[in-house]
């Protein structure tokens, strides 16, 4: 990280403030991690995949996989969440060289925001051009039902409103510009492809598109918070993805993201329902195969003109 560790130990009490200033990984540090990974990877990945809660099965679809535990990767954070394996898997998916994160990093694990997004910088430096992200989310849109898959068309970065953005700190132009545009964060062609492929697979009945809002978690939202998010235009709420998307776009990778609606956010005080992590993981497992099929079929289409898919 740019801020050296010695300073950090003297400043443990004010780590939070420090992280807002400059706890970004340096280009060199990310490059060292990328080079370390490439030295053992069987492929040079063009595609990066991030698997959400209960959706790690996608990684099992990779051919000739090489699995590396996060704890073995220099400078890499570690996953602490149930339902997240904490492994990086290299291999080919439908002929496309790919790296897959089985488990991601969240703000609520206590990591500074730059640590949660560091893998995106490493993806970029390994040659990744497109990132597919999946997550579990609570449905805010009353037309959504549990088990729907939402193609994310936009996001609301609630922590960003309070200055918690992964790009805060000194900017390294080798990654990207100081003030990156986010109005085109989610690639429109890939969104269309997701819907077209879903139609072919006969999945249209449970496909949606919409706006994803991120909160820090780990507590689920109150009724008033859900109502506010809906009022702001959000269709789903979760605790991930947006920060990775911001960093991926900053360094010029294409992004497509899918939310599995694992529960209905509780919007009224008379409801007996309570959001809970078991339901999130269970719904993930129920729809996992279809989510995997959707992603792998998308990848089998020519999304990388330089690559010949199977």
Catalytic residues: 53, 84, 106, 108-109, 136, 239-240, 263, 277
CB of 218 vs ligand HPA, minimal distance in Å: 9
Residue 179 phi/psi, 5° resolution?
A: -120, 75
161 assigned to a ligand binding site: no
User: In 3-39, which positions are buried (b, 16+ CB within 10 angstroms) versus exposed (e)?
Assistant: beeeeeeeeeeeeeebbbeebbbeeebbbbbbebbbe
135 assigned to a ligand binding site: no
Tokens 């990877």 belong to: 41
Instruction: Give the Cα-Cα-Cα angle 191, 65, 93 (nearest 5 degrees).
Output: 25
CB of 279 vs ligand HPA, minimal distance in Å: 8
Q: Taking the CB of residue 190, how many other CB atoms lie within 10 A of it?
A: 18
Those residues whose C-beta lies under 8 Å from the C-beta of residue 306, and which sit 6 or more positions away, are 46
Question: Which ranges constitute the DSSP H helices of 153-300?
Answer: 158-161, 188-200, 223-232, 242-250, 277-300
Residue ranges that bind ligand HPA, judged by CB under 6 A: 136-138, 220-221, 237-239, 262-263, 265, 275, 280
Question: What tokens appear for 121 in the block?
Answer: 């910088």
Whichever of 180 and 217 has its CB closer to ligand HPA, that residue is: 217
301 assigned to a ligand binding site: no
Whichever of 172 and 221 has its CB closer to ligand HPA, that residue is: 221
- How far is residue 280 CA from its own chain's centroid? 16
CB of 105 vs ligand HPA, minimal distance in Å: 15
Whichever of 126 and 281 has its CB closer to ligand HPA, that residue is: 281
CB of 254 vs ligand HPA, minimal distance in Å: 25
Q: Which residue is nearest to ligand HPA (CB)?
A: 138
82 assigned to a ligand binding site: no
How far is residue 165's CA from residue 29's CA, in Å, rounded to a whole number? 20
259 assigned to a ligand binding site: no
CB of 288 vs ligand HPA, minimal distance in Å: 14
Whichever of 136 and 151 has its CB closer to ligand HPA, that residue is: 136
How far is residue 208's CA from residue 44's CA, in Å, rounded to a whole number? 33
Strand partners, 237: 138, 213
220 assigned to a ligand binding site: no
Question: What tokens appear for 193 in the block?
Answer: 């492809």
53 assigned to a ligand binding site: yes
Are the C-beta atoms of 150 and 258 separated by less than 8 Å? Answer: yes
CB of 153 vs ligand HPA, minimal distance in Å: 18
Whichever of 100 and 260 has its CB closer to ligand HPA, that residue is: 260
SS3 265: coil
Whichever of 118 and 261 has its CB closer to ligand HPA, that residue is: 261
Residue ranges of the annotated binding site for a purine D-ribonucleoside are 221, 263
Residue ranges of the annotated binding site are 53, 84, 104-106, 136, 221, 240, 263
Residue ranges of the annotated binding site for phosphate are 53, 84, 104-106, 136, 240
């Amino acid at each position: 990280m740019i801020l050296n560790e010695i300073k950090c130990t003297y400043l443990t009490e004010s780590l939070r403030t420090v992280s807002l200033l400059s706890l970004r990984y340096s280009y060199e540090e990310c490059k060292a991690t990328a080079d370390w990974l490439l030295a053992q990877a069987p492929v040079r990945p063009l595609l990066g995949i991030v698997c959400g809660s209960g959706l790690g099965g996608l990684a099992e679809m990779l051919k000739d996989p090489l699995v590396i535990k996060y704890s073995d990767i220099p400078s890499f954070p570690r996953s602490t969440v149930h339902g997240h394996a904490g492994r990086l898997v290299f291999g080919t998916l439908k002929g496309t060289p790919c790296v897959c994160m089985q488990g991601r990093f969240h703000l609520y694990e206590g990591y500074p925001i730059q640590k949660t997004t560091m893998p995106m910088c490493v993806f970029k430096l390994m040659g990744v051009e497109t990132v597919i992200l999946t997550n579990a989310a609570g449905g805010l849109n009353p037309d959504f039902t549990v088990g729907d898959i939402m193609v994310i068309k936009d996001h609301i970065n609630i922590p960003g409103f309070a200055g918690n953005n992964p790009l805060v700190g000194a900017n390294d132009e080798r990654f990207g510009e100081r003030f990156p545009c986010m109005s085109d964060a989610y690639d429109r062609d890939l969104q269309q492809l997701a819907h077209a492929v879903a139609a072919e697979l006969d999945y249209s009945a449970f496909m949606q598109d919409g706006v994803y809002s991120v909160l820090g978690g780990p507590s689920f939202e109150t009724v008033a918070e859900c109502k506010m998010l809906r009022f702001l235009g959000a269709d789903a709420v979760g605790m991930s993805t947006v920060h990775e998307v911001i960093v991926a776009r900053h360094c010029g990778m294409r992004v497509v993201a899918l939310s599995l609606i694992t529960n209905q956010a509780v919007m009224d005080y008379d409801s007996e329902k309570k959001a809970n992590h078991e339901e999130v993981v269970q719904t993930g497992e129920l729809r996992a195969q279809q989510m995997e099929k959707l992603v792998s079929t998308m990848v089998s289409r020519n999304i990388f003109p330089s690559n010949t898919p199977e």
